[in-house]
Chains A and B, each alone.
Chain A
Amino acid sequence: MHMADALLSPAVGTTMYIVSTAAIARSTSKIKLDVIERKIPLMAVTGSFIFAAQMINFTIPGTGSSGHIGGGMMLAAMLGGYPAMLTLSAVLLIQALFFADGGLFALGANLFNIAVIPCLIVYPLIYKPILKKGIDAKRLTIASILSAIVALQLGAFGVVIQTLFSGVTALPFAAFSLMMQPIHLAIGIVEGVVTALVLNFVYKTRPEILDDAIETKGTKPKFHLRKLLIGFGIASLLIAGGLSYFASVNPDGLEWSIQNVAGVSELFSNASIHAFFAKIQELTSFLPGYAPSNDPNGTGLAGIIGSLITFALAGGVGVLIYVVKKKKIKSTSA
């Protein structure tokens, strides 16, 4: 479920970064300083555990196929919502930087889909309430499976919305959702089952861990926080949608969005911003030889040749630098 940079537009990526950073800041402030200090080694080790656990392939009975867990809900159950949020942030950052697992610019979006949703939305709204009356095997199982399913559904939906609003894919909303949601339903069920098995094992051997996590002060969101989180999430997605057209250097797209996204039209009818983008368009059309991009005869061939020339130049420069460096090494070692 890790999104790559290439699927996002600058506006959506930036918005998701803002949302996720706010979530991290919120999580940091919600945990008391002495608690977080004590928990850091635990968070670091369980974070690495999640990373390692994701590499464990297990066989799914009856299907002959195998899968692996994501682990977000498991982490939240072990650490509490806010610490799990921070832990997953560290893991996702490491994955983005060192394993190219999810883009660096897409980190904000991935944090939202993979960390914020399970830890700050599903955990307090679904997992905890089920276990409010006390932890036992049955409640643990129901909580795990239900939470995993919902978390993955919401996460997958997040991917759909973010991709569509980025305007990178031509896939219509209905088709995309029809692909993503059922697959992630299946994944969610399996993940939920594994989570239930693991948490039950832990509860049998070391019940105090799960008891402690639920009791951790500061992880009980008040009623208005719930609303705030959901509202915030929806609002940012809407704004991202509007902004994605706003940011493209194309006044036509601008007109379209002004007509279609009512409610934020005050933002877009700002004359100076519109004028700025129009001027840029002017600048580029001022250059000699500008041919409109939908001329089927000229653009294609010239474009390909031009691109080949560019690649050749780049390759040439690379080789040149290599040769010069080799010469330098030879002369200094001589």
Chain B
Amino acid sequence: MVDVRSKIHEIYTLEQLSSGRSVIHDLHPSVKILATFFYIVLVLSFDRHTFFALTPFIFYPVLLMSLSDTPYAMILKRVALALPFSLFAGLSNVFFDQATMFTISGLNFSYGFVSLIVLLFRTFLCVAAVLILVAVTPFTQITAQMRRMHIPDLLVTLFEMTYRYLGSLAEETSVMIIAYKLRHNSDKGIELKDMGSFVGQLLLKSIDRAEHVYNAMKCRGYGRYDRKRRKRSLKFNDYLFLLLAIGFPLFFRFIDLNLLFQPWIMKVTLC
């Protein structure tokens, strides 16, 4: 059974981290979001067999984590959870793509194997990039940015409220599960025949709560005005960060440093 409590704990760990202070935390959210997307797209734009040229991309997560005091362990743990799926998807490559890509002291490395490594590495880079984004950008800044991007107020409110209620509904669910297990004398899970009323009750409770929430919202003027967008100007640091966060990945995308230094490396290692 998925540990409900720990899942909720995950969200709140990120919330706490995001309220920290650092040069990265202070950056404008739009710049961080843009950089993240740009980074991910560039990482994904490499050919699936290209590993060596991709390696400099590790600087982005490392630098951001260090500058923002984001704990490495937490990010690595989350990334590790995402890897098995990529492993599974990439394993087939090893079987189907067996042509040799290169050889090192008699050991043949196939295209398929390299593409598996690339897939795992990409997963790491992309998952880390998103987690870091959330660890350095408070939720309220994300929603304010969404409004600045002209996403309809109603949708952003929906997003905010869903986020808010995740916690309490998950708690209620966890209590219901425990109560069921205690009376059911088993630790396995809900029986299929009970799912209808178990889930159904939870659903009805949710709907009733929604009614109360709606009343409370109406009493505080909900629906009268569209929220005004809070302006936030870009500072020098923001432009600098954007320049670096776009410039360096672009540079490494098209200039393969490994190839550049290859003759020197070969000289050193073979002599």
Contact = CB atoms under 8 A, between A and B. Distances in A.
Interface of A: 4-10, 13-14, 24, 28, 36-38, 40-49, 51-53, 55-61, 66, 68-69, 78, 86-87, 89-91, 93-94, 96-100, 103-105, 163, 167-172, 175-176, 193-194, 197-198, 200-202, 205-206, 209, 247-250, 280, 283-284, 287-291, 293-307, 310-311, 313-315, 317-318, 321-322, 325
Interface in B25-40: 36-37, 40
B271 interface: no
Contacts of B97: 170
A48 B92 contact: no
B210 A41 contact: yes
B239 interface: no
B56 interface: yes
Contacts of B254: 249, 280, 283-284
Q: Is the interface of B mostly helix, strand, loop or mixed?
A: helix
B217 interface: yes
Interface in B194-236: 194-204, 206-207, 209-211, 213-214, 217, 222-223
Contacts of A57: 1-2, 189-190
B119 A168 contact: yes
B130 interface: yes
A169 B258 CA distance: 25
Contacts of B258: 302-303, 306-307, 310
16 contacts: A6-B44, A52-B172, A55-B173, A56-B198, A57-B2, A60-B192, A66-B189, A86-B155, A87-B162, A90-B163, A93-B159, A170-B112, A299-B102, A299-B262, A300-B104, A311-B55
B69 to A, nearest CB: 7
A45 B209 contact: yes
B266 interface: yes
B240 interface: no
Interface in B100-127: 100-104, 109, 112, 115, 119, 122-123, 126-127
B262 A317 contact: no
B178 interface: no
B257 A301 contact: no
Contacts of B170: 48, 51-52, 55
B161 A100 contact: no
Contacts of A290: 259
Given A170-B93, A300-B104, A59 B204 contact: no
A98 B134 contact: yes
A330 B21 CA distance: 17
B265 interface: yes
B259 A41 contact: no
Given A45-B209, A59-B188, A205 B200 contact: yes
Nearest to B79: A100
Given A41-B161, A60-B192, A314-B62, A4 B86 contact: yes
B154 interface: yes
Interface string B63-85: 10111010000000011011001
Contacts of B211: 41-42
Contacts of A197: 192-193, 195-196, 199-200
Nearest to B42: A10
A280 B255 CA distance: 10
A277 to B, nearest CB: 11
Given A13-B44, A306-B55, A49 B206 contact: yes
A78 B82 CA distance: 32
Given A56-B173, A99-B7, A303-B258, A44 B67 contact: no
Nearest to A60: B192
A294 B200 CA distance: 59
Contacts of B214: 38, 40-42
Contact of B210 (A44, A163, A305): A44
B188 A66 contact: yes
Contacts of A45: 161, 165, 169, 206-207, 209-210, 213
Given A37-B154, A100-B127, A167-B48, A300 B173 contact: no
B179 interface: no
Interface string B154-187: 1101110111111011101100010000000000
A318 B126 CA distance: 19
Most B CB within 10 A of own CB, among A41, A69, A247: A41
Nearest to B173: A52
A57 B176 CA distance: 12
A5 B123 CA distance: 7
A315 B214 CA distance: 51
A40 B189 contact: no
Given A44-B162, A202-B200, A287-B255, 9 more contacts: A37-B223, A47-B158, A53-B202, A99-B11, A169-B93, A297-B102, A302-B269, A304-B104, A310-B56
A209 B203 CA distance: 11
A248 B112 contact: no
